[in-house]
């Protein structure tokens, strides 16, 4: 299939583009490079344009069979302080993409959603039937787009997969691509960086109702996520119905467990300081990935040690030009 990967020069998008190519698909990356990097799109046709630019979208979508949509602002804290930015991009520009795809008859759509649509869950592990009650504008924007997809399915025949990620982490085993965020919000790269002199990891809250007092999250390797996107696309291509599915391992790790894994892999101490809790951080977010396993015949295969080791290898090899 010919696949347009929106946001394909970003972290998860770049790994998925390579997974698609490994499966024989023809990939075009569409990215405005505001947070993506042309380095991560090397070897692919790259269209540098905004997602809200309908003229550019119409050109890029011609001859395309399916869209995979990653292009979203995704910092929870920033979404609280600047919600306009999130609704403009994640909702308004996202709808421009969806409407243009429908107008051109591109009706297979894989959406990068998030566990943030659930808000603070009543129970863990989280199933897809849990109430979707986001507690920040980022989660609200993602839920809006899920609702739009559901409406477009009923009205226009769009077939979609809404893939609700938990905590993406790690890097490609080749060491050629990985996580490049500025600023870096994610725990594992921050913990790896804190093994270096002059850097420290801020741990927000050690008094949560968890075994060691720190937050628990479900960390999933980015290549396991990428593979799930390919399988979701294949399911839609077979004419199967739309669906939403959690993508996680089903196992949670605390902040202190991450620190211990980083120290084990690197052989260095993670310099750290303890700080009060951040508002809106649930004690535990862990997926029940049963639906993805059933519908996609998919399961996350890489361990926490694999995640940390590949992230460390990428950090050690990250080219200056990136």
Beta bridge partners of 67: 4, 109
Report whether 72 contacts 94 (CB < 8 A). Answer: yes
How many residues are recorded in the chain?
322
- Give burial (CB, 10 Å; 0-12/13-18/19+) of 39: middle
**150: closest CA among 231, 248, 241, 238?**
241
CA distance 53 to 30: 11
DSSP 3-state of 5: strand
Say which residues have a Cβ less than 8 Å from residue 239's Cβ, sequence separation at least 6.
159
Handedness of CA 241, 243, 249, 251 (dihedral sign): negative
C-alpha dist (Å) from residue 21 to 26, 28, 80, 165: 6, 10, 37, 22
138 is catalytic: yes
For residue 126, the 8-state DSSP code is B
Indicate which residue of 138, 165, 208, 219 is catalytic. Answer: 138
Active site residues per annotation: 138
């Amino acid at each position: 299939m010919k696949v347009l990967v929106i946001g394909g020069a970003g972290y998860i998008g770049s790994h998925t583009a390579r997974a698609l190519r490994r499966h024989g698909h023809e990939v075009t990356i569409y990215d405005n490079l505001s947070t993506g990097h042309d380095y991560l799109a090397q070897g692919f046709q790259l269209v540098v344009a905004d997602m809200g630019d309908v003229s550019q979208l119409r050109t890029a979508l011609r001859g395309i069979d399916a869209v995979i949509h990653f292009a979203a602002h995704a910092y929870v804290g920033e979404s609280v302080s600047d919600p306009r930015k999130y609704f403009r991009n994640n909702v308004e520009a996202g709808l421009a993409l969806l409407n243009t795809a429908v107008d051109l008859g591109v009706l297979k759509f894989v959406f990068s959603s998030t566990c943030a649509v659930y808000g603070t869950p009543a129970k863990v592990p989280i199933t897809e039937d849990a109430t979707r009650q986001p507690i920040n504008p980022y989660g609200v924007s993602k839920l809006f787009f899920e609702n739009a997809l559901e409406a477009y399915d009923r009205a226009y025949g769009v077939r979609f997969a809404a893939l609700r990620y938990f905590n993406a982490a790690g890097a490609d085993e080749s060491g050629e691509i990985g996580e490049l965020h500025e600023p870096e919000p994610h725990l594992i790269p921050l913990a790896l960086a804190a093994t270096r002199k002059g850097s420290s990891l801020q741990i927000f809250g050690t008094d949560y109702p968890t075994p060691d007092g720190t937050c628990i999250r479900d960390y999933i390797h980015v290549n396991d996520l990428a593979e799930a996107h390919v399988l979701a696309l294949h399911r839609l291509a077979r004419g199967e119905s739309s669906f939403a599915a959690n993508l996680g391992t089903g196992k949670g790790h605390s902040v202190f467990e991450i620190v211990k894994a980083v120290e084990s892999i690197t052989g260095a101490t993670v310099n750290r300081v303890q700080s009060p809790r951040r508002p809106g951080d649930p004690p535990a977010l862990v997926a029940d990935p049963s639906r993805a396993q059933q519908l996609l015949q998919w399961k996350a295969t890489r361990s926490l040690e694999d995640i940390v080791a590949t992230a460390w290898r990428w950090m050690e090899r990250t080219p200056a030009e990136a």
